[in-house]
């Protein structure tokens, strides 16, 4: 299980409807810390709770 997500890497983020969705990391962040990703080409900020549920 990944604890650090590097910029440019694809990760799985939590989603209420689809369980998880693929997203690309914009700025490197640690699991459980706020992060920024792109989802379907659109920027999205992850909360600490969402980030804690991410996986690589």
- Mean pLDDT, to the nearest integer, of 7-22? 96
pLDDT at residue 1 above 80?
A: no
pTM of the shown model: 0.90
Could you state, in order of their start, the residue ranges of all structural domains in the chain?
A: 4-52
Q: Write the pLDDT tens digit of every residue in 32-53.
A: 999 999 999 999 999 999 999 9
Contacts of the segment 45-49: beta carbons below 8 A, 24+ positions apart: 46/13
Q: What is the CATH number of domain 4-52?
A: 2.30.30
CA distance 22 to 24: 7
- pLDDT for 42 equals 98
How confident is the prediction for the chain on average, in pLDDT? 96
As a whole number of angstroms, the distance between CA 24 and CA 44 comes to: 10
> pLDDT tier at 30 (50, 70, 90 boundaries)?
very high
């Amino acid at each position: 299980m990944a604890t650090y997500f590097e910029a440019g890497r694809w990760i799985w983020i939590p989603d209420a409807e689809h369980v998880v969705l693929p997203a690309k990391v914009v700025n490197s962040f640690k699991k459980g810390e706020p992060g920024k990703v792109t989802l379907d080409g659109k920027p999205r900020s992850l909360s600490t709770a969402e980030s804690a549920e991410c996986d690589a």
